[in-house]
Chains A and B, each alone.
Chain A
């Protein structure tokens, strides 16, 4: 406001900056301030000092659970990417009604609650469930296989929930890729595989980065699905944080765990951004 008064010229970027002021204020009040309070709480509750962090990094279950969390999120992210990439590749070429149909197929599962979908996977994977019945009927196994609780069930359940978050950024990115570039590559002598590897894949990297960041970070905070489908080994950080915050009313400890997870997430993000040339995240494309 004072800028105007001092007679400084209006520029496009300054105008955008002002448009941003309101959302930034909103984020400051409803995101940054509470987050700061959580971080501070980890150091002062129940008494000032590092006691909570000594517990987190000590002999308890906490580091192991944090590691489990990162590992599970990483596996889910890789699986999501492997499944989503071909789907998005095909979907991005669709036009008109077919595109709508593909989008609906991706989006509709998102409207069902995560809890219900996780219970549904329980029904599929249990001892007398759909999958075991099928395996038994086909003669592939004599006795029911124990899927529950287990890694397969957790990964399938989580991938199912996270897939749209990988597919959608990929489609958005791939639709913007000029496919005549592939023809150009072919004219210059590239076979289809080479054209894909040298032209399409690099151009789709921003989409991959956005999807990977979205899926990985959301997976770090998963609660219901690993709790229902996973065994003790799949206890994730969110479960411990909920226990501390909601069952034991130990908000200092809950804050310390949440802050550790946040720092870990940011560290991984920064590392990922470095190795992929700073293109990680949806907003970092330019």
Chain B
């Protein structure tokens, strides 16, 4: 007991000394903060960020990275109260678009990033999309031994049960493609037509809530086919789980980097984002997580063996289409209300 308490006291003293030393620096040099707080979704994504972005950034600048969970509502609370816990954040891109519309984000300094190299639609004034994930068709290989659906129209006709996200976002797009709308003619969404399309499969569809759930029902064979994100089934498939997928007619979605409006360490946050968006960092990230780069300069740096798993590879990218985050920022509320009413 005594040993423990003396140990903890020593650690505490050491910590205090380091804290004083670090806190002393900015006062003298009028330079960088001692740490940068980044809000992320956690999990494997954060592990990849830590390896690819955090470590090099800290080495380069001497600034320590601390992470926090990226609860959407917290961004609004922080900006309203002008009391900042985060210096920057990783957010779902559609939410970033929404937040930008509500004036919750700082404009980015595009002088530090090569806007011309970004995939169309991924560079925005207040946020930059950081990776390309795909919402696509997947199936259980034990339940579906042959004739897996090649596109959403076939997915709609597939026998047995299918899984879709219990949210209008992405599900509406998929419903329209199933009804024959071309992937480049989705927006603005024909909401009525999407509901008519969804009506046809409502009874035979399991509407899931979370990405983890979509993977579980696929792997356990609770459904024959399901929409899911490639990051959810990539590892299980390699690990031998009875699940397969393809990128045909997939809907590309993304995360985004953004800075809360009025956050105090904007300069450092912007430097971090520029580093994370640089070609080598984007390439290194995509090697760990099967989400493709949005900076096209990163693609040539990626191992050709990894590329087929990435939604934004030269081979896969033409098969799908990017979700229009601006549409959802403008119409999300209204469509969500209609969707909730429809699904009840």
Contact = CB atoms under 8 A, between A and B. Distances in A.
Sort chain A's interface into a size bin. Answer: 20 to 34
Interface string A45-69: 0000000000100011100110010
A60 B342 CA distance: 10
A122 B216 contact: yes
A106 B213 CA distance: 28
Interface of B is mostly: helix
B183 interface: no
Contacts of B344: 61, 64-65, 68, 232-233, 235
Contacts of B73: 245-246, 249, 251
A59 to B, nearest CB: 8
Contacts of A231: 206-207
Contacts of A265: none
A148 B207 CA distance: 10
Contact of A61 (B104, B217, B220, B341): B341
A279 to B, nearest CB: 36
A173 interface: no
Contacts of B220: 123, 126-129
Nearest to A127: B222
A141 interface: no
B76 A251 contact: yes
A232 B341 contact: no
A68 B343 CA distance: 13
Contacts of B207: 149, 231-232
B222 A148 contact: yes
A90 interface: no
Contacts of A227: 209-210
Interface string A107-150: 00000000000010011001111000000000000000000110
Contacts of A61: 337, 340-341, 344
Contacts of B209: 227-228
A232 B166 contact: yes
A250 B333 contact: yes
Contacts of A55: 337
B275 interface: no
B24 to A, nearest CB: 35
A249 B99 contact: yes
B95 interface: yes
Listed residue (A64, A149, A240, A249) with the most chain B CB atoms within 10 angstroms of its CB = A249
A243 interface: yes
B102 interface: yes
B336 interface: yes
A247 interface: yes
Contacts of B210: 227-228
Nearest to B207: A232
B221 interface: yes
B343 A232 contact: yes
A248 interface: yes
A251 B332 CA distance: 14
Given A60-B341, A231-B207, A232-B344, A247 B221 contact: no
B61 interface: no
Contact of A228 (B71, B95, B213): B213
B246 interface: no
B72 A249 contact: yes
B98 interface: yes
7 contacts: A122-B213, A126-B220, A126-B222, A128-B220, A233-B344, A235-B344, A251-B73
Given A149-B207, A248-B98, 11 more contacts: A61-B340, A64-B344, A65-B340, A127-B221, A128-B220, A149-B206, A246-B71, A247-B95, A247-B336, A249-B73, A251-B76
